[in-house]
Amino acid sequence: MNWSEQLRRRTRWSEAVVRVLLTACAAASILITLGIILALAGDALRFFTHPDFRWGDFLTGLAWDPGSKKFGILALITGTLMTSFIAMIVAGPVGLAIGVYLAEYASARVSRVLKPVLEILAGIPSIVYGFFAVSFVTPALQSILGNLIQPLNALSAGLVMGVLILPLVASMTEDALSAVPKSLKQAGLAMGSTKLETALQITLPAATSGIMAAFILALSRAIGETMIVALAAGSYPKVSLNPLGSVDTMTGYIVRVSGGDIPQNGIEYMSIFAIGLTLFLITLGLNFISQKIIARFREVYE
Amino acid sequence: MMFPVAGHEDFHPNMGSRKVRAATWNGIFLASTMVGVLALVTLVATLVDNCFGAVILQDAVALTDVSDAGKTLEGLDAPQLRQALQSAADQDLISPGRLAILERDGPLATRTAEDLRFLLIHEVLQPTVERAWGLTDTLFHSDEIARVKQEKFPDAELVFRSWITPDFLGRSQSRDVLLTGIRGAIIGSLIIILLAVCIALPVGVGAAIWLEEYAGNTRLNRFIQTNIYNLAGVPSIIYGMLGLSLFVRGLEGLTSGAWFGIEGVNGRTVFSAGLTLALLILPIIIINTQEALKAIPQSLRWSSYGVGATRWQTIWHHVIPAAGDRILTGTVFGVSRALGETAPLVVVGASAVLTLDPSGLFSKFTTLPMQVYTLSQQPQEEFKHLASAAIIVLMIILLGLNSVAIVLRGRMKKTKEAA
């Protein structure tokens, strides 16, 4: 017994070193978050304390035009929300239907074709979707709507963004539906309801929270999406509610400004960090809500 | 009726409408899935359509002005081509200085006919693209195209062109649409990805091992886990801003190479880009590795402990090899994501125009998606064709990467089963 006690108590330096290294790796993730917050907040603070900056203008102004010192973030937020909502109008119902179809209807053979299609759609870089928006969707819309629609517009960007987030909504909906206990469905079928009635009136309501989480996550993805709006949505500097016209978005503005060579001490440079901080907080909030919903949903059925 | 239930007529009448409703919804579901398939098909069709098609090439100098030997370039042999170049020099169509430079690069007398033909085309004739069409227009509106050519460009040449050529892959960027290439962008993309993976893979796998194999269920560890999920959902452009603030500006001495005695460069380098993308793919690699580790049965660990292995020995010799194929798949997923990222690299400072290939960590850079972005922004028609050619190259690289991963995964599985 004596030697075994000794063996157990021996300090194994290599084990200790490995442990420290691994802990450092995990801690790195916290450092990244801290880094993001500090990097954004540092320059955002310089923006908020700049003599040309006024809170009233920032929060309620209807134009974002650094040239004439107008910094109303509502102009960018409306643009972002408009493209994102158009995307959700496409991806919400269609993604939901695909999810229901995959979870409840599709035969193994159909799934074998459909799932890779969704995976490929999800794996296509967003810049490719941006190109698709300007080189196919916008001309197609112009041939239908004629002069009503501007060459750069929120509708085209939103529609294509809908395709981008479609796989996310579809696969998360499918997961949520598959997580509903089989016994619920069987009870429905036993009561004489059709396959459709079971799917729409029993499975779907039981998976509501999971589907809500999917929608919120998709919205967050759409809000943070950059290259499609940078190429296709334009740069109209005022609040506009016309989906056929140009809008400016938070991400589009950041890319446009940082793509040019702007001086580090100019207010434009600082302003992108304030927008970045706003964007970060919005997406963080949405992701957080989505996670909370999923966590609660898991508890209900496990 | 099969069952003699009293009042079954009460629900019988609505069977018809219920069946119609089921059929309608079935149609809706099918139509929705078709939306997805249709989107993919249209996307691919748009790319192919833009990548091939008719172009009208207008020479700045007619061939007949410099050579009386034949009407087509292909018909000329080396001496005739040399003569044509000489005649162009005599007519001042090519400056004597330029000719001297060419002579110094390689004496004209020893150059091959193919080489001379290239020189004659691009130094003297200098064709430009007047009009360009997509594949569908070329196939279905050929008479219209021929008419445009006849009416507007009677002495121009109408040719069918593939915008994606070996030259397009192998040349560096140029202002000439016919001569430009994406070599620098491909090299840039590959170096940056390699750098990002070399940093993110060890750290990511390490963090995942710690979370799955070491960390207890404490408040702090739950916070770290939540934090990683949140990082995976942060928009990529935010990582670009972190890279701009931290690597390009904050650590400029490191990323520009000034600390290593390299001068005249700012922080917008390959190094900054690689570090930024490493941060971007880190959460993806951590989460995928965690999934891989979760899938390893606990019995494997217990049997290792049972024969007296320490925790790290168990992980290193048993858990990681067993999870290797899934870790690899997760890494490829992260790499694919990084390869297509554009927004963070625009913010970090990818060059829109870069004629020199990146040569190391501290050179300026551009990437394939960045070139697609730059090309897509140009208003001229021909740049759209170049952009779609660049996209096809990007998609082929992504597809190749994923296929290699699938093959490797299959092989790893086989060795695992054999062992």
Give the CATH number, domain containing residue B245.
1.10.3720.10
Using the Cβ of B37 and the Cβ atoms of chain A, whether some distance falls under 8 Å is answered with: yes
- Of A29, A126, A276, which has the smallest distance from its Cβ to B224's Cβ? A29
Asked whether residue B16 is assigned to any structural domain, the reply reads no
Using the Cβ of A157 and the Cβ atoms of chain B, whether some distance falls under 8 Å is answered with: no
Whether A298 has a pLDDT exceeding 80, the answer reads: no
Residue A51, burial from CB neighbour count under 10 angstroms (0-12, 13-18, 19+): exposed
Quick one: pLDDT at residue B94?
77
Q: Which residue has the higher pLDDT, B266 or A17?
A: A17
Contact between B207 and A22 under an 8 Å Cβ cutoff? The reply is yes
Q: How many other CB atoms sit within 10 Å of the CB of residue A153?
A: 28
Using the Cβ of A98 and the Cβ atoms of chain B, whether some distance falls under 8 Å is answered with: yes
CA-based angle B253:B256:B259, to the nearest 5? 40
Query: Which of these, B38, B321, B101, B105, lies nearest to A166 by C-alpha position?
Result: B38
Using the Cβ of A218 and the Cβ atoms of chain B, whether some distance falls under 8 Å is answered with: no
**Taking CA atoms, what residue in A is nearest to B39?**
A163
Q: Residues B341, B347, B350, B352: what is their CA dihedral angle, to the nearest 10 degrees? A: 100
Same domain, yes or no: B157 and B234:
no
Note the Cα B334 to chain centre separation in Å.
14
Place of tokens 């409703």: B21
- Of B36, B279, B283, which has the smallest distance from its Cβ to A166's Cβ? B36
The number of residues making up chain A comes to: 302
Same domain, yes or no: B238 and B363:
yes
Same domain, yes or no: B158 and B188:
no
Same domain, yes or no: B105 and B206:
no
CA distance B307 to B288: 29
Same domain, yes or no: B392 and B276:
yes
Asked if B33's CB is within 8 angstroms of A97's CB, the reply is yes
Mean pLDDT of A258-269: 77
Same domain, yes or no: B221 and B154:
no
Within 8 A of B226 by CB-CB distance, chain A residues are 291
Whether A111 has a pLDDT exceeding 70, the answer reads: yes
| Domain finish residue from B127, B162, B197 | B162
Tokens of A117: 């299609």
Same domain, yes or no: B156 and B261:
no
Same domain, yes or no: B192 and B144:
no
Asked whether residue B311 is assigned to any structural domain, the reply reads yes
Asked whether residue B368 is assigned to any structural domain, the reply reads yes
How far does the CA of residue B343 sit from the closest CA of chain A (Å)? 6
How far does the CA of residue A294 sit from the closest CA of chain B (Å)? 13
Contact between A121 and B39 under an 8 Å Cβ cutoff? The reply is yes
Chain B stretch 278-317, residues whose beta carbon is closer than 8 A to a beta carbon of chain A: 279, 282-283, 286, 310-312
φ, ψ (nearest 5 deg) of residue B132: -140, 145
Mean pLDDT of A71-92: 92
Asked whether residue B171 is assigned to any structural domain, the reply reads no
Residue type, B407: V
Number of domains in chain B: 2
Place of tokens 């998606």: B369
The structure's pTM equals 0.89
Using the Cβ of A122 and the Cβ atoms of chain B, whether some distance falls under 8 Å is answered with: no
How far does the CA of residue B201 sit from the closest CA of chain A (Å)? 11
Q: How many CB pairs under 8 A join A and B?
A: 238
Within 8 A of B19 by CB-CB distance, chain A residues are 194
Note the Cα B306 to chain centre separation in Å.
48
Asked whether residue B132 is assigned to any structural domain, the reply reads yes
The residues, ordered by sequence, that sit 6+ positions from B56 with a Cβ below 8 Å of its Cβ are: B129, B130, B131, B132, B148, B149, B153, B156, B157, B158
How far does the CA of residue B29 sit from the closest CA of chain A (Å)? 5
Strands (E), A246-294: none
Place of tokens 């937020």: A77
Same domain, yes or no: B208 and B299:
yes
CA distance B358 to B192: 10
**β pairing state of A70-71 and B128-132:** unpaired
Quick one: pLDDT at residue B1?
45
CA distance A166 to A215: 10
Asked if B43's CB is within 8 angstroms of A97's CB, the reply is no
Domain interval for residue B128? 52-162
Q: B58: which strand partners?
A: B128
CA distance A141 to B200: 42
Tokens of B170: 């192998």
Asked whether residue B44 is assigned to any structural domain, the reply reads no
CA distance B388 to B46: 8
Q: Is the ipTM of this complex over 0.95?
A: no
Quick one: pLDDT at residue A197?
87
- Return per-residue pLDDT of chain B as tens, 419 residues: 455 555 555 556 777 888 888 889 889 998 999 998 999 999 999 999 998 888 888 887 777 777 776 667 777 777 777 777 778 777 777 777 777 787 777 777 777 777 777 777 777 777 888 788 888 888 888 888 888 888 888 777 888 888 888 888 888 887 778 888 888 899 999 999 999 999 999 999 999 999 998 888 888 888 899 899 999 989 999 999 999 989 888 887 777 777 877 776 777 888 999 999 999 999 999 999 999 999 899 999 999 999 988 889 999 999 999 888 889 888 998 999 999 999 999 998 888 777 777 877 788 888 999 999 999 888 888 889 999 999 999 999 999 988 888 888 777 777 766 66
Within 8 A of A32 by CB-CB distance, chain B residues are 231, 242, 279, 282
Asked whether residue B370 is assigned to any structural domain, the reply reads yes
Same domain, yes or no: B259 and B122:
no
Place of tokens 């081509």: B81
Asked if A117's CB is within 8 angstroms of B32's CB, the reply is no
